[in-house]
Amino acid sequence: TRVAYPVDYIPNCVIPGIGGHPKTVIFLTADAFGVLPPISKLTNSQAIYHFMSGYTSKVAGTERGITEPQATFSSCFGQPFLPLSAALYGEMLSQRIIKYGADVYLVNTGWTGGPYGVGKRIEIQQTRAMVSAALSGELDQVKFHHHPIFKVLVPESVPGVDSNILDPQKTWSDPVAYEEQAKALAKRFVQNFKKFHNAPDEVKDAGPSFE
């Protein structure tokens, strides 16, 4: 049963209920390979690349017929609902990021210390602290370094978060195995992005490198 009623029937409602433009944009992904950082800062071109890629994992309980996580790419994190090209939506997002000076972060709620079956899910308390730090501007005060494969900016510290989990390679018992797994995911990104022939060169170049 569904019902509709005027919003002003709700106590303490806000009229007209319209917020301003965000200063912080957060993309959520669940990396079943266990190789993406739990939080990373994106340049404008990287933001559009990851937005158009829409990488995440199908997880049991949210997808019918899924018993273990499966990597998937869904353009703009909502491919079935896009009437226009992903490149057009990417350009629209880029214009707004630049116009309003928004910071963009990629937050990984997936696995750490190894892929699914070996590692463990990133604790929600850690994710909550990272999101809070991004929204509050606390990450503006920390140092970052470039990830050698995914090229994203990885914070060296986040208030309230164990620094050991911020660099995903350090959470793996075998650094070589991590690098191999990271390159395997990077190849999937590159292969998936080949379908976006009309994407700007600077966006194409913002993706991972596995050489």
pLDDT-based confidence at residue 62 (cuts at 50, 70, 90): low
- Rounded Cα distance, 193 and 110, in Å: 22
pLDDT-based confidence at residue 1 (cuts at 50, 70, 90): confident
- Average pLDDT for 42-62: 90
C-alpha angle 204-147-124 in degrees, rounded to nearest 5: 105
pLDDT in tens, 95-147: 999 999 999 999 999 999 999 889 999 999 999 999 999 999 999 999 999 99
Residues 6+ positions from 105 with CB-CB distance below 8 Å:
24, 25, 26, 27, 39, 40, 41, 42, 134, 139
DSSP per-residue string spanning 148-196 = TTT--EEES--TTS-GGGTSGGGGSS-HHHHHHHHHHHHHHHHHHHTT-
The dihedral built from the CA positions of residue 95, 100, 101 and 104, taken in this order, carries a sign that is: negative
The pTM assigned to this predicted structure is: 0.89
So where are the chain's domains? 24-201
Per-residue confidence (pLDDT) for residue 65, from 0 to 100: 66
pLDDT-based confidence at residue 63 (cuts at 50, 70, 90): low
Phi/psi at 43 (nearest 5 deg)?
-70, 175
Helices 86-100/44-53 angle, 10° precision: 150
Tell me: pLDDT of 155 over 80.
yes
Helices (H), the chain: 44-53, 86-100, 124-136, 175-193, 201-204
The topology (CATH level 3) of 24-201 is Phosphoenolpyruvate Carboxykinase; domain 3 (3.90.228)
Summary mean pLDDT of the chain:
93
Top pLDDT among 175 and 211 is at 175
Tell me: pLDDT of 42 over 90.
yes
- Indicate the pairing of strand 55-58 with strand 70-73: antiparallel
- Average pLDDT for 197-207: 94
Cα-based distances in Å from 80 to 75, 121, 193:
9, 27, 17
pLDDT-based confidence at residue 210 (cuts at 50, 70, 90): confident
